[in-house]
């Protein structure tokens, strides 16, 4: 087992080389408790080497040069109730289009995004589907739809440490549970899309979403077109890691990103804004 200073040096070097570290992942990797890693990160943050973010830490260099970028990392995303009303028609359009990708008999996984919640609202007419999710609002929506007879199947809620702000179950328990689940299709959200990959504000949420992608036969990112013009602190997946992005046409997508998606072999599926 590493001594404290060796462990902290490793954490700093890993954060510097990868752009960020996640507490739960480090605890598993170094075979120590989550609290030990949290203390290490606090020491590194107090020394000015790392900046703490939700669920982990990033190097100061990754957010330097822009006060707006620093503010995004400190403040994270808007609260859930505010985000739920942002671009709602666009989210609904994406949800309707993504729902058409689900077939009877599928095993699917949904992460804790609001676009995946829109997908849950749009599911209908399929049978014998199994849906895994760690998102409390999505589980609630699916229960109502199952009771109403909109689809036939079962819902599996993946538990863990509850994130009050974002209303999902995360942490080590959720991550370990999801690591043992394999699905036909995963539908996931993202904070932003760049030519470099998919990004999140929340490292813990990003790590869970990355696990859903790697443990599925086909994966789809659901993202409003406005997210192609944003940047976030933590990259959780390469563009080539997913089969397609389901988006909508309300904002133009930069040529640089379109070219990067084409090079990665990632399809763009455009949703119809009309119901």
Q: Which distant-in-sequence residues (6+ apart) come within 8 Å of 263 by Cβ?
A: none
Residue 214 and residue 242: Cα distance in Å, rounded? 9
Please compute Rg for the chain using Cα positions: 19
Confidence (pLDDT) at 172? 87
- pLDDT of 97-144, one tens digit each? 999 999 999 999 999 989 999 999 999 999 999 999 999 999 999 999
Q: Find the helix or strand (DSSP H, E) in which 250 lies.
A: none
With beta carbons less than 8 A apart as the criterion, state whether 222 and 117 touch: no
Sorting pLDDT into bands at 50, 70 and 90, what band is 70?
very low
pLDDT tens per residue, range 155-182: 999 999 888 877 888 888 898 899 999 9
Q: Which residue has the tokens 């328990």?
A: 173
For the record, the structure tokens of 82 come out as 């505010």
Band (pLDDT 50/70/90 cuts) for residue 75 is: very low
pLDDT, mean of residues 211-240: 89
Look up the pTM and report it: 0.73
Q: Is the pLDDT of residue 150 over 80?
A: yes
Residue 237 confidence (pLDDT): 94
Comparison of pLDDT for 204 and 1, the residue scoring more = 204
> 236 Cβ partners below 8 Å, 6+ apart?
190, 197, 198, 199, 200, 206, 207, 209, 210
Quick check: 150 and 169 in contact, CB under 8 A?
no
């Amino acid at each position: 087992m590493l001594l404290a200073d060796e462990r902290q040096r490793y954490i700093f070097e890993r954060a510097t080389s990868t752009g960020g570290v996640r507490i739960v992942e480090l605890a598993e990797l170094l075979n120590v408790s989550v609290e030990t890693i949290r203390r290490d990160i606090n020491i590194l943050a107090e020394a000015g080497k790392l900046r703490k973010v939700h669920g982990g830490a990033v190097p100061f260099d990754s957010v330097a040069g822009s006060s707006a970028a620093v503010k995004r990392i400190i403040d994270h995303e808007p609260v859930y109730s505010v985000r739920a009303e942002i671009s709602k028609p666009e989210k609904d359009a994406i949800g309707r289009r993504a729902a058409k990708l689900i077939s009877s008999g599928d095993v699917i996984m949904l992460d804790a995004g609001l676009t995946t919640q829109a997908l849950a609202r749009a599911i209908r007419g399929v049978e014998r589907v199994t849906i895994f999710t760690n998102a409390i609002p999505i589980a609630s929506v699916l229960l109502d739809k199952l009771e109403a007879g909109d689809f036939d199947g079962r819902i599996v809620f993946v538990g863990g440490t509850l994130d009050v702000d974002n209303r999902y179950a995360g942490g080590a328990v959720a991550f370990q549970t999801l690591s043992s689940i394999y699905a036909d299709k995963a539908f996931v959200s993202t904070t932003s899309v760049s030519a470099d990959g998919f990004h999140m504000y929340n490292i813990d949420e990003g790590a869970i979403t990355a696990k859903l992608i790697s443990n599925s036969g086909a994966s789809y990112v659901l993202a409003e077109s406005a997210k192609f013009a944003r940047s976030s602190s933590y990259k959780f997946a390469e563009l080539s890691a997913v089969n397609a992005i389901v988006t909508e046409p309300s904002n133009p997508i930069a040529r640089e990103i379109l070219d990067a998606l084409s090079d990665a072999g990632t399809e763009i599926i455009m949703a119809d804004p009309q119901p």
